[in-house]
Chain A
């Protein structure tokens, strides 16, 4: 910087720009302000991301039909909660649903699902994203006929317990020795997950060819 410009700037801020103390004050002030803003935004975000909040449904949403449709006022696809459609044909109470989801999360962490798949796009990228996997047309189109099951959730349980038996291409899912109860819980988790409003991620899900 030419000394002329430096002098002008210096006069403008009223301090010596090469003085570390000036920038130290700037660093402390900036950090403090940003942390306060983040604290407020975090408190407000909890209104959305808590269970039963504006974007994250209660766990017993697994008793309902879940869709995913483009919303013109939001300019994004959003989950649409429909009429009754109990998982495995069996309506659960709020407490039972919460237990099932708790178990489902244990399955997801103990098998490190996130180190092949992604949730909300976070994780590894070797397997497909699971945010809306409950709604994936592959279940009725490929795996229901392949497993010989008549419902989506039964096909999912069968697939999760023996994924190596039902490959769709050369990159297969390994057998992670899920018990039937664990597979049930994982399916419940995926159904609940698909009901979370993710600001339209992933875009155009299941819309290809429609």
Chain B
């Protein structure tokens, strides 16, 4: 095992831990909706929400870094360049996360000064981390970029996947620089904030996970490099072709000109296409080639990634992306429903597959299967779909009663939030959230226990 693969295991461990922290604060955030007096004035909803969404971003980012450190030496046939720096930045990354989390939890907010923005809270959704921590994250990303590029250079070898990955690092770092921004004009502030949020989540991250999935497919299913690279290019073409101007669906209501309604509506309606392509790809690979696998959990999570990415990001996004509908759904629990489903389908499922690849390698199991991963798989998927449906129910009640009929005022918001559809949706979300948490426990249990020796390690054909 390469040194960088040992680093990747550390990144996975940190990622799985933060995944758990995210779930804890997700459950707490859900609880406020049912018991609004909970921890009132002591630990408010906003802090819990910050912890929930920021750990989401960080644990996925850590898992991506881990996945790249895992496959980089395999792909280029040599140890990663600058490993000591990579190992050092891992600990820097962890220290930054711990200090920021402690400040969020114990200090929470500060006076309206520069000091607060530098050391306590920047108060911009997803990038609340204070500025000093933002510098730390930029350093981590730069070291990561150096590792990738320097290893390619030293190896005198470049594959198509590595080209895509290396070029993707440029926007990955560049758009993150908006995390430093302070702009008194909310319209221009949000204009660039969406470059960060959209270009990360709907473009550069999609390309990054595309690279990782390409590597996993070759590894787990034995798909040929030619097929995988062809699909990766098609995916990049469609993701960026639709996604760059699909940014326009965030420019409907922030003070931007009216033409964004048509441009954003049109291009974001095309955004499901690459995701549909991945579904076809997965079915084609799994079925037409009658592929055999030695890693059943990884195989199932990859296939699930393709389907749920299409449904969660593609269909759920399309459902509310046209401006005629978005006028009423934007900023309701409907958005939350899409957000949960999309992040889960696009990234979480893929990342879990990557964890299982590492598990097989470290445990030395020739054939990875068992009971525990099936429990995790079932509980996580059913839990997520249940949460998404509960939130959709609540969001529809808000869009209809709060927005379209009520006119979006405080009283309209209140009335919609007391509507039985909304309330039952919130209870459903809580219930399925607990189920999701149980799935997480099963996942961790399965990842850390060594696999049972299976009597017939012979390759078994997968059902199509």
Contact = CB atoms under 8 A, between A and B. Distances in A.
Given A111-B123, A198-B254, A203-B327, A24 B40 contact: no
A145 interface: no
A38 B190 contact: no
A182 B111 contact: yes
Contact of B409 (A30, A137, A182): A137
A56 B46 contact: no
Contacts of B182: 105, 109
Contacts of A30: 237, 240-241
Contacts of B251: 45
Contact of A199 (B32, B128, B258, B408): B258
Contacts of A198: 253-255
Contacts of A205: 407-409
A137 B408 CA distance: 11
A5 interface: no
A132 B408 contact: yes
Given A31-B240, A114-B123, A174-B41, A203 B408 contact: yes
B124 A114 contact: yes
A109 B408 contact: no
Nearest to A181: B112
Nearest to A111: B109
A108 B123 contact: yes
B246 to A, nearest CB: 9
Interface in A33-65: 34-35, 37-38, 41-42, 44-51, 54-56
Contact of B125 (A34, A115, A133, A137): A115
B372 interface: no
Contacts of B335: 125
B410 interface: yes
Nearest to B109: A111
Contacts of B412: 208
B331 A200 contact: no
Interface stretch (B8-16, B114-122, B344-352, B447-455): B114-122
A125 B336 contact: yes
Contacts, number: 259
A132 B254 CA distance: 12
Nearest to B185: A51
Contacts of A20: 160, 226, 229-230, 233
B255 A120 contact: yes
B245 A44 contact: no
A118 B409 contact: no
A167 B301 CA distance: 47
Nearest to B234: A23
A18 interface: yes
Contacts of B98: none
A110 B237 contact: no
**From B44, B109, B230, B410, residue with most partner A Cβ within 10 Å:** B410
A49 B333 CA distance: 28
Contact of A41 (B46, B263, B414): B263
A171 interface: yes
A74 to B, nearest CB: 8
Contacts of B17: none
Do most interface residues of chain B lie in helix, strand or loop, or is the interface mixed? Answer: helix
Interface in B399-421: 403-414, 417-418
Contacts of A106: 112-114, 116-117
Contacts of A168: 410, 414
A174 B183 CA distance: 26
B230 A196 contact: no
Contacts of A109: 116-117, 121-124, 182
A11 interface: no
B403 A202 contact: yes
A82 B255 CA distance: 19
A45 B256 contact: yes
Nearest to A167: B36
A163 B174 CA distance: 40
**From A105, A120, A206, residue with most partner B Cβ within 10 Å:** A120
Nearest to B248: A41
A80 to B, nearest CB: 16
A27 interface: yes
Interface in B173-210: 182-191
B336 A207 contact: no
Nearest to A198: B253
Contact of A118 (B45, B323, B331): B331
B50 A199 contact: no
Contact of A126 (B32, B244, B259, B330): B32
A203 B190 CA distance: 20
B229 A121 contact: no
Interface of B: 32-33, 36-37, 40-41, 44-47, 49-50, 109-114, 116-117, 120-125, 128, 160, 182-191, 226-227, 229-230, 233-234, 236-237, 240-241, 244-245, 247, 250-261, 263, 323, 327-328, 330-333, 335-336, 403-414, 417-418
26 contacts: A27-B237, A27-B240, A30-B240, A30-B241, A103-B112, A107-B112, A110-B112, A110-B123, A111-B109, A112-B128, A114-B125, A116-B45, A116-B49, A121-B331, A122-B250, A123-B331, A126-B49, A129-B331, A131-B253, A138-B410, A171-B36, A174-B41, A176-B109, A198-B254, A199-B261, A204-B408
Q: Across chains A and B, which 10 residue pairs bring their CB atoms closest together, nearest first?
A: A121-B331, A109-B123, A201-B253, A23-B233, A202-B408, A106-B112, A115-B46, A34-B244, A204-B407, A128-B413
